[in-house]
Structure formats: C-alpha cells, structure tokens
Structure 1
Amino acid sequence: MRPLTDQETKVFFEKLAKYIGQNIKYLIDREDEKYCFRLHNDRVYYVSQRLLKAAGPIGRKQLMSIGVCFGKFSKTGKFRLQITALDYIARYSTRRIWIKPTVEQSFLYGNHVLKSGLAKITDDTDSLSGVVIYNMSELPLGFGLSAKSTEECRSGTSGDIVAFNQADVGAYLRDEDTLL
C-alpha cells in the first residue's frame, strides 16, 4: 500500500470532482480523524490514518483491502469509480437526479435513466456532468453522467436518455459470480 503519485492523484481527483466538485476537501479535512487515499493493487482506498498505522505490519501480499474502495485504475491509467464509493459521493454530491418508483428496477438492472422516468433534477446540471441518482425516498441508487442539461431535459421527448448509468447498487447482484 502506497500513496498515490502526482499523476494518479490528478486523474483520481479529476474524476471525483465530476461528482462532488469542491467538496473533495471535506473528505480529506475531517474533524473526527485524519483520512487519506492509498493505492493497493491498482485500487484507491479511503482509509483513516489510525487504521493505516494498524495495518502497517501486514505484508502487501496478505493485505486484501483496507478502508473503502473508491475505484480502480485501468492498465491504461484511466480511473473508474466503483459503487463502494456511493455513500461518500452521495453525501457530498452537487448534482442529483431523482427517478420515479416505476423505473427504479430498470435502473438497478444497469439501464440508463430516460426522461419518462425522471422525477426531478437539480437546476444547475450541465450535459456530461456527474450526477447521483436517487429514488423518491432520498435513497442513493447509483451514479452516472447526465446526458442532457436541465434545460434540455425540460424540452426533450419521453424516450430521451437523461443520465448514463455508471454504477448502481444492483451491480452487487449482477457481478456476484465474478466476485467470488
């Protein structure tokens, strides 16, 4: 487990800033205890300093994970956020989409959000910005990229894609065979 390099930090924070903007500072400058991001097996973990110190004696090959996995770097150096980061992304997100109860299941099966399933959207949403998708009970279901801005959503047809699904909580069930 090691700290991220400058290039890895830049790529990671750019991806994270798409979803939570300037609220990244709240992840690092916490009042309860110090947290940091560490890289282990191409995955970025969000871990407290106390837990990091306790895991010090464990060898790299014996350590499977530590803290919360925010995502993974690909072999080409690109970063992909994973659904395990949803709690933190949802807490600090700046743009949100709420979907109707009738399309929750479709979204959890990995489908994109259509305008017909859109209940509401934050006003300042731009096209291709990171959004967190909620149900009407304010429960975060996943995150993705907005396909249209708020103004374009108001004038589009019911079959238009509003948000591209990047990750959702249904991924745990769909990927169950590959995780074991």
Structure 2
Amino acid sequence: MLFTQLLTLENIRQGITCASKKRTFEIIGQILAPEADIPVEHEESECQEDDIVKEKEICCTDCLFTREKIGNSALGNGIAMPKGRLPQGTKPLAAFLQLTSGVDYDAPDHRDVDLILAILIPNEMCAEFSTKLQEIAKRLVDKTLCKKLRAAQSAEEIWQAFKESDIQYLEQATFDPDLEEENQDTTEETETLN
C-alpha cells in the first residue's frame, strides 16, 4: 500500500508543538473528524454542526486510545504509528504530524517521538488491512524517508517525501515479484504520482 493512498496533503501537519501523547491523539482526532463516517448520538437535525464534529473528534481520539492500551504504537527512532478501529466507514483515514520536539511515547527505545502517522480503519476492513499496515510501518522507519520528513519545512514538503517514497517502492516492485504481486492494485497510482 502506498502512503499517498492512505494520506492526503490536507491531513498533514508540520511543525506542531505538543506536550504529550494524549495531545497528539486529540490533534489527530480534530484532523480526521470531518472525514469520519461515524454515527452521532443525536438526530442530526437536533445538533449543531460543531456538536457533530466534536463528537466525531472524541470518537476518533477514543479509537486511538483504545488501541494504544493494547500495545504501544512507537516503532522506534522517534517514529510512531498509532492506529484504531472506526465503528464504520468506507475507507481508512490517516493523518501525519511532524512535531517541533519529541514527546514521551513510552517507546521501547526510550526515544521521544516526533513523527506520527495515525491510521483509523473501519471495523469491517481491519482484516484486509493487517498486512498492509505492517508494510506501511516497515516503510515508515526508512532512514532516508525519516530524514526528509524531519527536515521538511511545510506540509507540501512532507507530502513530496511520501510521494517520492511511494515512487521508489513501486520501482522496487518492478524488480521484486513478491512486491509486485502485493501491489498490483497500486500500478495505476504510479502515473498519478509522476
């Protein structure tokens, strides 16, 4: 799976100042809530639009916390990939944060986290995305990519770093039959990325 299939430029934040893992989850909830196809408790006609969005923010944030209680999402070297299950939806949602300084993430390597790719997946799609998430995590810790993500001065530069990583990944798939088989559905993306 490609980063650019999960992530959108609009869901990238560069230079974010945060004091805690909890606050990063809240920011991610705010970013993803408008896109989340989550049922609200009240009839929509009774609610203000702000109330609906706030309820979705809370749901997105809670999904991340629920999964984080099961196991830490830090991948090491200052990188984390928190994920969660949405009660429903038609597609996965992702947000990326580049922090100005790392936050304590209880990482196994004890390093503070400054790069966060959060992914929320609808319940009915979790099995389908299990191996794809493993591949994304493996690609996310690439030293060259991380260096570019940390050096980026704008969301556009972060987006470009992800696009370049995707292009390189697709080029590798041409020479590796196992990767090519896994990514037959991403072939059309190559033209979009170039």
Q: Per the shorter chain, which TM-score range?
A: under 0.3
Higher relative contact order (CA 8 A, sep 6+): 2
Which has more helix, going by share of residues?
2
What TM-score results when the alignment is normalised by the length of structure 1?
0.27
Which has more strand, going by share of residues?
1
